[in-house]
Amino acid sequence: MSFNEDDSLGAQSPQAIIEYLRLIGDDRRADALTPQGGAPQAFGFGADKPYMGTSAILGFVEHAQGDLLPIVPLASITADETLRGATIKVTLDRFFVEEFPGHGEHRILCEFSGKNQVPGEVEALTFTATCRARDGQSAGVNGLPIFLGLNVGDNGVSFEGRTVNVSSSRDNHILEVLDTDTFKQGLSLLTHAQPAIKPFTKLAEGIVRMAAKRSWNRQVHTFSLGLDFDGSPTSARLRCGSFVVAQAARTGGWDWANYAWDTHAGEIVPVRDAPPIGMNYMVFGVSRYTIGDPR
């Protein structure tokens, strides 16, 4: 599956964004985006709104001891060649919501898509989860399993993700399926193809697709994270650690040296008198996986 960036809220026309906000009863944000005496202009429209960004800023946090851990650009890390052909687990360790459309507590649908390389076949994977958070807070997830026992190929691994703002109460019963243990436990993978993976993936895809098509619900962000063993200066390389994906309207001029990971608060904090990060972001943990590894 390949998620479409053009489906994200920030990629819509200014008028369509304002109409969506009014549809879900968020008149305060709609009024803030509505100019006095004229139609909204596309240039620079909503660039300061965290939920409007369609780009991603990627960072990496090494597994280490300390109160404040540095965050570095993905292109600066070195691949761990010993992970070639190994099995890993991918977890959602943090989802911080700076600002989402709507009122009060947001219900956010998260969908992750990847591929599992087994002899003779490549399995398509889809894992979904629902998160709840208010603006300026983290969702109640920590070490949420996504892919357990993901087989690393010679070209590394890759997965995509997206967030969908759920504002339709009609979908509550449908999304309750995603809160069952069957979905919460992540995808446990093996070194051989599993027939059960395909219908599970199709079910998860169908639920998200159905919810995302509702006019009250809208995709907010999508990203693609490819981790390989290449040494090119622009690629992202695979190693154990924490990968940060921040939703951003623009990427130029960003410097991770102004921010660090606070191990006590479990959040990205500013250093060197920098302002707060001001973005929605996810943190994914990547570590080695062995059979019987606790979740």
pLDDT digits (tens, 9 = 90+) for 128-158: 888 899 999 999 999 988 888 888 988 889 8
User: 164 and 245 in contact (C-beta within 8 Å)?
Assistant: no
Q: Write the DSSP assignment of 35-69 as a string of letters.
A: PTTSPPPSTTTTTT-GGG--EEEEEEE-S--SSEE
- Residues 290, 152: Cα–Cα separation, whole Å: 13
Looking at the DSSP assignment, which residues form a beta bridge with residue 294? none
So what's the pLDDT on residue 12?
93
| Three-state secondary-structure class, residue 154 | coil
Please give the pLDDT value at position 195.
45
Q: Supply 71's token pair.
A: 């965050």
The ranges assigned to domains in the chain are 50-288
pLDDT tens figures, 26-61: 999 999 888 775 666 665 676 789 999 999 999 999
CA–CA gap between residue 283 and residue 268 (Å, rounded): 10
Residue type, 267: E
Q: Is 104 left (phi over 0), alpha (psi -120 to 50) or beta?
A: left
Burial of 267 (0-12, 13-18, 19+ CB in 10 A): middle
- pLDDT for res 128: 84
Give Cα 242 distance to the centre of its chain: 13
Q: What is the residue type of 262?
A: D
Say yes or no to pLDDT of 184 above 70: no
What is this structure's pTM? 0.86
pLDDT in tens, 209-260: 666 666 688 999 999 999 999 867 777 899 999 999 999 988 888 999 999 9
The count of other CB atoms within 10 Å of the CB of residue 285 is 22
Q: Above 60 in pLDDT, residue 270?
A: yes
- Count the residues in the chain: 295
Asked if 95 and 282 count as a contact pair (C-beta separation under 8 A), the reply is yes
Neighbour tally for 201: CB within 10 Å: 19
Within 8 A by CB and 6+ apart from 273, the residues are none
